[in-house]
Amino acid sequence: MSYIDGFVIAVPTTNKQKFIDHANFANGVFMELGALRVMECWGDDTPDGKVTDFRKAVQAKPDETVVFSWIEWPDKTTRDAGMAKMMEWMENPETGDPRMDPVRNPMPFDGKRMVFGGFSPVVELPSRDKG
């Protein structure tokens, strides 16, 4: 069964295109490391909750938009190997992939407020044909 990495971040709304450019530049790395699919979703309906919500989770400011992203991997073994290689590249920019170099491709958001984790699916339904 597949394995999913999920991410929630707050991006300054004025940085939407910078975020898209950053994601387009870097996300190919995940695909090359074995990911099946990467989704970056710009929030357009993230209401305030009474107890908690996406905005509170990432301490989003009024001028920020919540982004929900995920990476689908074929399995946890592929994900662990891919993430280890990616982290190695990030920690050694001189020998790593330039797409992961924060100097060449700086994050257009505050990475310290990112919420992320790995998930094992417990229910997985097949995609419906869109035709």
What's the full length of the chain, in residues? 131
Q: Is residue 129 part of a domain?
A: no
Q: Is residue 126 part of a domain?
A: no
CA distance 13 to 117: 24
CA distance 49 to 124: 28
pLDDT given at position 1: 80
pLDDT tens, the chain, 131 aa long: 899 999 999 999 999 999 999 899 888 889 999 999 999 999 999 999 999 999 999 999 999 999 999 999 999 999 999 988 887 877 776 777 777 777 776 777 888 899 999 999 999 888 887 76
pLDDT given at position 91: 76
Q: Is residue 64 part of a domain?
A: yes
pLDDT given at position 37: 95
Q: Is residue 107 part of a domain?
A: yes
pLDDT given at position 124: 84
- The domain that contains 43 carries what CATH number? 3.30.70.100
Q: Is residue 61 part of a domain?
A: yes
Q: Is residue 128 part of a domain?
A: no
pLDDT given at position 131: 64
CA distance 91 to 96: 8
pLDDT given at position 89: 74
pLDDT given at position 126: 82
pLDDT given at position 127: 81
pTM of the model: 0.85
